Amino acid sequence: MATVTQGFTTEDIEYAKPAGKPLLLRFFRPEGRGPFPAVVELHGGAWHHGDRLQEHNRHEALAERGIAVASLDFRHGVEGAYPLGVADINYAVRWVKSRARDLAIRPEVAISGQSSGGHLAMLVAMKPKDPRYVAQPLAGGGDASVRCVVMSWPVINPLSRYRHAKRGLAAGGDWAKDLIAGHEEFWKTEANMADGSCTLILERGEKVATPPALWLQAPKDNVHDYRDPESPFDGNEPQRFVHAYRKAGGEIELVYFDAPLRWTSIAPSSPQAIQAFDRIAAFLKKHLG
């Protein structure tokens, strides 16, 4: 049964202005005094679509469950070509943490995202001190470390998914065209895709942070849940990442819901969506205190 206990307010706040471009976040503040547990939220869209308003049903559901949400706009596509968009998100995490008192939130936060946003959430969480991602200075300092990560159907391995889409297009799958375009606009090269692949980072043995993580996934999702024929791992990409994350010392749950792709977005009042929102809220509260 859903645990919906309180109302909330919303506010749009400018958090950065890289290269003269204002970047906004929409802040969902639960009613009450706080301080509230808080999560920084990243939209999906194959790294070249979407904005902070895209997953509002999810954000509202979390705010109703007593969790503050900072949903970001960040540079994507050509404008945010790697690593610029990642640097925006790293900065936003630091900015939100630095303003914990003003926002009535606890000083440590979580990060979450859907599809390409899920990938970016994990990348920022794993490498909070990467010099390329910390390129935008913040008055007062601070770091972008997070307490936990929630991913919904993340594109966890950009290089693998790019080649998967290319194979799909060669086989006549029009579904792959937009995905390929998104990869090429944001990543530019396969070398960058490999550099920013959370799976390959772990398989290369890089030393990274491994905060507790939750992965929500629908079955029969050929866009996010497929086997990479170029990998020796005997399983699909979600299982491959989970194996590598645990091997690196991380704690991660991979939870499948008997629901259609993007069910929390397309059917936010469905029983499966309510269960997912409850599961996310419980996970965040467990790790944020």
| Four-point Cα dihedral 18, 196, 138, 211, nearest 10 | 140
Rounded to two decimals, what is the model's pTM? 0.97
Asked whether the predicted pLDDT for residue 25 surpasses 90, the reply is yes
CB contact at 8 A, 25 and 52: yes
Nearby residues of 156 by Cβ (< 8 Å), 6 or more positions away:
118, 119, 122, 197, 198, 199, 237, 238, 241
pLDDT tens column, 155-180: 999 999 999 999 999 999 999 999 99
Task: Give the whole-angstrom CA distance, residue 203 versus residue 159.
Answer: 13
pLDDT tens column, 191-219: 999 999 999 999 999 999 999 999 999 99
Give me the numbers of helices (H) and strands (E) for the chain, helices first please.
Answer: 11, 8
Domains of the chain by residue range: 8-288
CB contact at 8 A, 36 and 102: no
Task: Give the whole-angstrom CA distance, residue 104 versus residue 76.
Answer: 29
Which one-letter DSSP state was computed for residue 45? S
> How confident is the model at residue 4, as a pLDDT?
62
pLDDT tens column, 142-151: 999 999 999 9
Distances (CA, A) of 194 to 125, 149, 207: 17, 21, 16
Structure tokens at 42: 């990243």
> How confident is the model at residue 3, as a pLDDT?
57
Asked whether the predicted pLDDT for residue 222 surpasses 90, the reply is yes
Task: Give the whole-angstrom CA distance, residue 244 versus residue 264.
Answer: 27
Helix (H) or strand (E) holding 275: helix 271-288
> How confident is the model at residue 1, as a pLDDT?
47
pLDDT tens column, 91-143: 999 999 999 999 999 999 999 999 999 999 999 999 999 999 999 999 888 99
* CATH code that applies to domain 8-288: 3.40.50.1820
Task: Give the whole-angstrom CA distance, residue 43 versus residue 208.
Answer: 23
How large is the C-alpha radius of gyration of the chain?
Answer: 18
**Average pLDDT of the chain, as a whole number:** 96
> How confident is the model at residue 141, as a pLDDT?
81
